[in-house]
Each structure stands twice: as C-alpha cells, then as structure tokens.
Amino acid sequence: MVVDGFFITGAVICVLSSVICIAAAVIRQPPNDITILAVAAVELFLLAYGIAAIFRQLGGEPVAGEAWEFWGYWITALIVPIGAFWWSMLERSRWSNLVLGAVGLTIAVMLVRMEQIWDQAAAL
C-alpha cells in the first residue's frame, strides 16, 4: 500500500476524533459541541478526499482495483458519521460518545481499504 498525504491526514483526523469522543465518554459527558465537531471534521475530510479522488481520476490516475468498490466504500464512509450524529442527538447519554468514537476508528479502517483498492495492494 502506498501511503500518501491524504491517507496520513485522514488517519490523524480519525484517531483524534476517536480519542476526543472516547475521552468524553470516559469522563461521563453527554455529546457536546466538541465531540460533534470532531465527527464533523471526519465528514469534512471525507468530502475533501472524495473531491480529490475525482480530480485524481480526471487527471488520468485510474483506480487500480474496482472503481465501483472504491466509490461504494466512500459513499458508505460518508453515511457513517451522519448516522452516528443522529444517534447522538436522539440519545443524549455518555454512551453516544462511544458511538461517535467508533466513527473515527471505522473510517480509519475504511481508509486503509480504499487505499488498498486505489493502489491494488494486497490485503493486510
């Protein structure tokens, strides 16, 4: 797997988001602006990642694996933070912060897989 700047940036954002949300759950805080904004940062990164992927493809850099699989992962990754946000709004307990924390970890794993598909690298 080729590690590029987008992957590193995404991994850092996802891990920081998870740490913030899990720490809020540990100190028994309900979802608040900080945890919601941490998950929003993951969503904004995913939007930028998708736009960059479009430009990479238009620039002549094809997806080495199946393009439908890459874009399927990307669309699914876009939905995960939105679902967690709604969960945290409907259930305002500290446990919702664990759901928000799971977003960063889930998206980090999905980023690894999207990079594998893009570069057609062997699964780890």
Asked whether residue 107 is domain-assigned, the answer is yes
The 8-class DSSP code of residue 55 comes to H
Q: Span 104-123, mean pLDDT?
A: 85
Q: Is the pLDDT of residue 57 over 60?
A: yes
DSSP 8-state secondary structure symbol assigned to residue 28: T
Instruction: Tell me, yes or no, whether 124 lies in a domain.
Output: no
Q: How far, in Å, CA of 98 to CA of 77, rounded?
A: 18
Among the listed residues 39, 105, 61, the one whose alpha carbon sits nearest the alpha carbon of residue 70: 61
Query: What confidence tens digit (pLDDT) does each residue in 65-108 have?
Result: 888 999 999 999 999 999 999 998 888 888 889 999 999 999 99
Please check whether residue 91 is in contact with residue 5, taking contact to mean a CB–CB distance below 8 angstroms.
Answer: no
66 lies in some domain: yes
Residue 4 is predicted with a pLDDT of: 79
Mean model confidence pLDDT for the chain:
89
Residue 17: domain span: 5-119
- For the chain, the domain total comes to 1
Q: Are the C-beta atoms of residues 106 and 42 closer than 8 Å to each other?
A: no
Q: Which amino acid, one-letter code, is at 66?
A: E
Query: Could you tell me if residue 43 is inside a domain?
Result: yes
Q: Cβ contacts of residue 92 below 8 Å, gap of 6+?
A: 30, 31
